[in-house]
Amino acid sequence: MIWRQRPLRTVHLLALALCVSAGGDFDWTKQEKTSFYYGTFPTGFSWGVGSSAYQTEGAWNTDGKGMSIWDVFAHKKGKISSNETGDSSCEGYYKFKDDINLMKEMKLNHYRFSISWPRILPSGSKSKNKREHINEKGIRYYNDLINMLLDNKITPVVTLYHWDLPQVLQEKHGGWQNASMVSYFNDFASLCFERFGNRVKHWITFNNPWSIAVEGYETGEHAPGLKLRGSGAYKAAHHIIKAHAKVWHTYDTKWRSKQKGLIGISLTADWGEPVDVSNQRDIEAAERYIHFYLGWFASPLFHGDYPQVMKEYIGRKSGQQGLGASRLPVFSPQEKSYIRGTVDFLGLGHYTTRYVTQKNYPSGFGDSYFADRDLAELVDPQWPDPGSEWLYSVPWGFRRLLNFVKTQYGNPMMYVTENGVSEKRLCTDLCDDWRMQYLREYINEMLKAVKDGVNVKGYTAWSLLDSFEWDEGFSERFGLYFVDFSNKNKPRYPKASVQFYKRIISSNGFPNQREVESWKRKAVETCSSSNQLLAAGQSGDAEGCVWFVADPLIGHMEMVTEIVVPTVCTLCILLSAVFFMFLLRRRL
């Protein structure tokens, strides 16, 4: 799923002022922080949940599956929190029927999942070499999953690449640093169209290519863990964009007329808001933030080339560093034409917002994607923070981002492919009121955007289950269902947000104030029994839970209770003993 950007330290921000000035077609001065809107989505709006193969399937070396870059990366000591791996994770490979029953109970319209490339092509390719074969057991698993979804009237939305590249392609070719990945990915996608396309009508080529490029090849936080600063991310992104376009054309020419499906891509982006909307430099910095983030991939697909501001800034920085050419690769005129227009729909993932201001990085700072942008990211400490180090709840930013996409890219058909909130805890209170609040407010901002005319057709909550959260291991949980990873059977327990989201789905939005206000109360009433089941299932282990609380006041109170009070009590006992010894000596 999911990507996380490391924030800079929090700073308190002054209130923003209205002013005149705008960048592009988007009105940066328009304030859209309006009150809650009661209303419903258009008929046919699709509601779903999401997952990805490596995060949930487990069975990492079962039934002929090949190694992925995440299998290798997670097994390296020190790469993942607590050295955890996705080897078994949620055991989704074995429990998919149970999970589909959970979806059916929620009355979901669609389920977004990914196909593990090395599970169906263990060596990454399907050449005639006998050692490079199609794994029919992997094909059977996805066939069974797709068929059962359809039997339960749940539409499969399939992601072809959610980060688990076959390890052999990384070792032989350098992964996404090599242009050969374009043809390898096209072969893999063609196999998926051939085997599953008669039933799958919604395909997503890549999930969040920003994270693949930056965290995989710039910072090294994610697999394959390379730190090719200043160039690796741009080269990986260049090949990913070409790979997406090739797969789109392959489907368009060979499969579309028979299968009548759609091909899109899922781009994840935070919203960037100018610190001071009366300052043109801050507005330009915020717009640059989004173009280096979302526009990096969206602009080539919609307009045929990288954003002009990326070409200017990276080109200038490259020149200042004495390089003969820009570190940002160049599309040829033929490639621009080939890439432009290769999206039937845009998938959009969104979690949080940053304030942005101008910050100049000197040329001596070194090659870096982050330095190329010449900006600083800030957060308001008053924004709610459920405990994750990066995810602040800023609902109004969601509406701003959706409207930005509308103005910049011609209001394409959009599906929200990821949106949700985590808790940073080693155990979970299933009455997740913060998640219900997050869903309520973010989905409402999406509803406002639909009323603004934004062409959003569906929403995917991230995620169905707690799962392996990349470099955070199992310490960060996004699931609507709690998974007890300490139990070999990986039982699922519904959080209150399951019932809350189910009511949004059944109402197709927020029909009226009285009804909506009752949802949270009713959802909380159902989760106390789940808490009791969880506690019983953990056989008393829950008593040892460590909690990471978001509220600083609560955190302070816990610190006082757990540290200060015992310390004061100990000191009192010692002082009392000294005092009594002093009295005793005087009497003697």
Rounded distance, CA 272 to CA 277, Å? 12
- Beta bridge partners, 166, equal 68
Q: Is 245 exposed, middle or buried (0-12, 13-18, 19+ CB in 10 A)?
A: buried
CB atoms within 10 A of CB 441: 17
At 435, the amino acid letter reads: R
Rounded distance, CA 239 to CA 175, Å? 10
Q: What is the dihedral of CA 240, 245, 248, 253, to 10 degrees?
A: -140
For residues 436 and 25, the answer to whether their CB atoms sit within 8 Å is no
Rounded distance, CA 74 to CA 66, Å? 15
Rg (CA), the chain: 25
Nearby residues of 516 by Cβ (< 8 Å), 6 or more positions away? 38, 440, 510
Which residue matches tokens 């002013």?
Answer: 19
Return left, alpha or beta for 365; rule: phi > 0 is left, psi -120 to 50 is alpha, else beta. Answer: alpha
Two tokens at 214?
Answer: 């930056």
Two tokens at 309?
Answer: 């501001």
Nearby residues of 368 by Cβ (< 8 Å), 6 or more positions away? 218, 229, 230, 361
- 418 catalytically annotated: yes
Beta strands in 146-198 (DSSP E): 155-161
Measured on CA atoms in the order 56, 62, 68, 74, is the torsion positive or negative?
Answer: positive
Q: Which residues of 83-95 are buried (b: 16+ CB within 10 A; e: fewer)?
A: ebbbebbbbbbbb
Rounded distance, CA 401 to CA 406, Å? 9
> Which entry of 418, 423, 469, 472 is annotated as an active-site residue?
418
DSSP state of 512: -
CB atoms within 10 A of CB 35: 6
Nearby residues of 529 by Cβ (< 8 Å), 6 or more positions away? none
For residue 478, the Cα-to-chain-centroid distance in whole angstroms is 10
Q: Is 190 exposed, middle or buried (0-12, 13-18, 19+ CB in 10 A)?
A: middle
Residues tagged active-site: 418
